[in-house]
Amino acid sequence: AALAVTSIVCGTTWVASKMGLAHLPAFELASIRQFMGSSIYISFFLIKGEGLPTRKQFLWLIPMAFLMFVSSNGLATYGLQFITSGLAALIAALYPLSVVLIERFYYKAIKITPQTLLGLLLGLLGIAFIFYKDSMELHGKNYMIGVGFSMFAMITWSVGSVIISRSNIKMNAYYSIGWQMFISAVTMGLITIISGNYVPLNEINAVSWGVLGYMVLGGSVFAFISFIYSMKHLQPAIASLYAYINPIVAIWVGSLLLKEEMTMTSIVGTLITLVGVYLVNNSLKKQKDPVEAIADADGM
């Protein structure tokens, strides 16, 4: 049940974000979401008696907030304006591939086995297959802008994940996430105000608040708790299956609720990509590297 909750909620969060973009600018939507989510996490730990982060911790939290939430979540939300929720979810699912490249060529920490190489090639092949068929000629230049922002967001998430996995900062991981979300919420809020492209809070409609509520309570709280429960009570190989189900859920629900086109090309390309991601994840687990924890974590 916990695995089902994680898979369904995380997949539908992409669709909810797309629905929210119909009423709110991207950075305002992301800012409000992160502020609401951070309020829950920070309040919980403060009530438990946790102290405020130290100066050293704040100096670490700020760049992590930019990598994990401003660049990653913010740009992924911005790019989602121009592509389908299913494609956005699929691009986010590619992050284990970029983690492998970072770990291999920057840290020299892992080996590129034949299985890893095959997974990398299949992952890229699947995405290339979708891009070839659903190219800029069919969707216009905004399509490639959306893909570009989504890819960059995925890469920054990967970089941040690798840094966090190697960090020795002594701070509760969930409390850290709360502060990263808060810092990113303030940053994206300032971007929204400076740009002048925002909807006043008193003019945000009920649909938008409903979408935000689902994204925060569903995606940031219940799905995350379910994921942690799954990791503790199920075999890692089974618990991590949600990462491959998310894009499929996003594609199906997006076509159902938002009438997003679900072509045979997108289905085949998605399956090829997910097989590649699975092979990479599996090869990382066999190497028992710290990056394994990253491979099992969620995307944006």
- State the average pLDDT for the chain: 84
Q: What is the pTM of this model?
A: 0.85
Q: How far is CA 152 from the centre of its chain?
A: 12
Considering the chain, what percentage of its residues have pLDDT values greater than 70?
84
| Residue 247 φ then ψ, to 5° | -60, -35
Q: Is the pLDDT of residue 32 over 70?
A: yes
| Span 84-105, pLDDT tens digits | 999 999 898 888 788 888 887 7
| Span 120-161, pLDDT tens digits | 899 888 888 877 665 555 566 788 899 999 999 999 988 988
Q: Is the pLDDT of residue 170 over 90?
A: no
| Span 234-254, pLDDT tens digits | 655 555 566 778 888 898 899
CA–CA gap between residue 101 and residue 165 (Å, rounded): 15
Token digits for 177? 């996430």
Confidence of residue 64 (pLDDT cuts 50, 70, 90): very high
Give the pLDDT score at 293.
42
The answer to whether 162 and 95 have CB atoms below 8 angstroms apart is no
Instruction: Spell out the alpha helix ranges (H) of 166-241.
Output: 173-195, 206-213, 223-233, 236-239
Give the pLDDT score at 93.
85
Q: Is the pLDDT of residue 119 over 80?
A: yes
Give the pLDDT score at 19.
96
Q: Which of 102-116, 221-235, 266-280 has the lowest mean pLDDT?
A: 221-235
If you write DSSP's letter for every residue of 148-179 in order, what string do you get? HHHHHHHHHHHHHHHHHHT----S-HHHHHHH
| Cα four-point dihedral sign 53, 58, 63, 65 | positive
